[in-house]
Amino acid sequence: MTWTHPSRWRSPAGWPLRTRIVAIIMVLLTVLGLVVGGTAYVFLRDTLYTQVDAKLDTAGRPGPGGGKFTFPFDDTHPFRGAEIGSITITYTGVSDVEGGLVEGFTNTDGFPDTRYKPLGDVATAQLLAVPVNGEKSTVGLDGYGSYRVVSETTNEGTIRVTAISLKNTNFTLLRIALVTGGAVLIALGIAGWAGALIVRRTLAPLDRVATTATRVSELRLDRGEVRLAQRVPDRDTDPRTEVGQVGAALNQMLDHVGNALEARHASEMQVRQFVADASHELRTPLAAIRGYAELSRRSPVPVPGEIAHVLNRVESEAKRMTGLVEDLLLLARIDAGRPLAQDPVDLTMLVVDSVSDAHAAGPRHLWQLDLPEEPVTVIGDGARLHQVLANLLANARTHTPEGTTVTVSVASTPASAVLRVADNGPGIPYELQPNIFERFARGDSSRSRAAGSTGLGLSIVAAVVQSHGGQVSVESNPGRTVFTVVLPLGPASVSPAEQLAQIAPRGN
């Protein structure tokens, strides 16, 4: 499985807000638990070691009347009451060490008693190495564990080493550490669960604000009438809270954006209506101008050459103006959302007819067809689709030099029909390609304006194709330009963008 966000969990900056808050709480509680537990552990350890040191101070003092140190009753028996497991040795030299480990037993009279058990050589050497200064220290004796040891000189001039085992003390400290650690872990688990629940409920208003913003971001705001009905609920706009301030600000911003979109839509509708009305009204006077110009040419009375030239120019410009008005009227109708015909259209025959017309208009271009064996039929407006083909072919003929090869191909996928118009002309400048389907867009001198292009041909292509639920694109490099039109065969199962990705043109 591919991890799509490899760096998200490396840096806390990429974590969600609730995760960061819970993580901060857990870190703070962990530090607090370590500080409290560590302090308790150190205090208890000092207390227990102080108790052990107090036992060392009283070890070897059998009772009133005795000196600071008194020898055992004999070489093998400790003082009565000596702690079992403790160690006592006396020596004046390495060769005359007496005493050992105190162990308990039952004597012949049936009473409990104690005696010395000789120590191992390594442990004895470790005790003899303890400095004779009366300072207590901790020594790990080989085979016996950790002991608290003190070495002092007795009143008789011998050296006495007393050691008390730290086994019980260390065991107690270990249990305390385990219990404390377990309690801290349980507390952290409960705190993490409760913290996550509290943070989630606390940030729920922020989630609702984000959800509202997400729904608004998914709306199409670039065209048509837009109604921004989405608003943050009133309960999430309390100005006393930070989230409420964000919610109130978002609602205010949506109000402003909604008003601006309504004003923009009203302005667009006025412009579209004006264009439609003006185009419709201009058709009649333009037709009259053309009629009078043509009538003057057919007059039996000879017309001076200069006047005839002027009348020809008037008729020519009237025809061009009529074409421009017709294009503007068509775009205005498409923008107004007027429904198109929904009839079966044989795209293959449409291509054959359109290329035949283009060959008649541009006989010095080389026209080629690449058609499938079976006809490709789409549902749409045949007249408008014919205009799409006518505009693409006129664009190729007008903006390429004579001798250019123009290839028109038709193909199909399970969900769409694909029409391509390719030429080997000079190509479209890269900086013009993103805007080539905009209205009144024109190429530079590399794509000639000899035919007096209005700049609306490709915008009509884009508008008609989009009104059919399709998509048009261009790919152009010097020596190869390809216009690709994708039209759904029926109800589209995938979006036009996905269709276009499936059949994107490939270079030769």
Q: Fold identical between 218-338 and 343-502? A: no
Contact 297, 311 (CB under 8 A): yes
Transcribe 52-103 into DSSP letters. Answer: HHHHHHHTT--STT--SS---SSSS---TTPPTT-EEEEESSTT--EEEEEE
Question: What is d(CA 295, CA 271) in angstroms, rounded to the nearest whole number?
Answer: 35
Note the pLDDT of residue 99.
85
pTM score, whole prediction: 0.47
Provide the residue type at 126 as one letter: Q
- Give the type of residue at 508: N
Quick check: 298 and 256 in contact, CB under 8 A? no
Encode burial over 300-321: b for 16+ CB neighbours within 10 A, e otherwise. Answer: eeeeeeeeeeebeeebeebeeb
- Chain centroid to Cα 448, Å, comes to 47
CATH of domain 343-502: 3.30.565.10
Tokens representing 406 are: 């123009």
pLDDT at residue number 247: 81
SS3 457: helix
Pick the CATH number of 218-338 from 1.10.287, 1.10.3470, 3.30.1370, 3.30.1150: 1.10.287
Q: How confident is the prediction along the chain (508 residues), in pLDDT tens digits per residue? A: 444 454 545 666 677 777 888 888 888 888 988 898 889 889 999 999 999 888 888 775 544 444 444 444 455 567 666 788 888 888 887 678 888 888 888 877 777 778 888 888 899 889 888 898 888 899 999 988 999 999 888 877 788 888 998 988 889 999 988 988 888 889 888 888 888 888 888 778 887 888 877 777 777 766 666 667 777 777 777 788 777 888 888 788 877 877 777 776 676 666 666 656 565 566 667 667 767 666 666 767 676 777 777 767 776 776 666 666 666 666 666 666 666 778 888 888 888 888 888 888 888 999 998 888 888 888 888 888 888 888 889 888 888 888 889 999 998 888 888 989 999 988 888 888 888 887 666 554 444 444 455 667 787 788 888 888 888 888 888 888 999 999 888 643 344 444 444 444 443 3
Q: Cα dist. 263→223, 227, 267, 275, 336 in Å?
A: 12, 12, 6, 18, 17
CA distance 36 to 33: 5
**Alpha carbon distances (Å) from 463 to 212, 238, 310:** 32, 46, 36
What is the rounded CA–CA span in Å between residue 293 and residue 315? 6
Domain ranges of the chain: 59-165, 218-338, 343-502
**What pLDDT does 43 receive?**
92
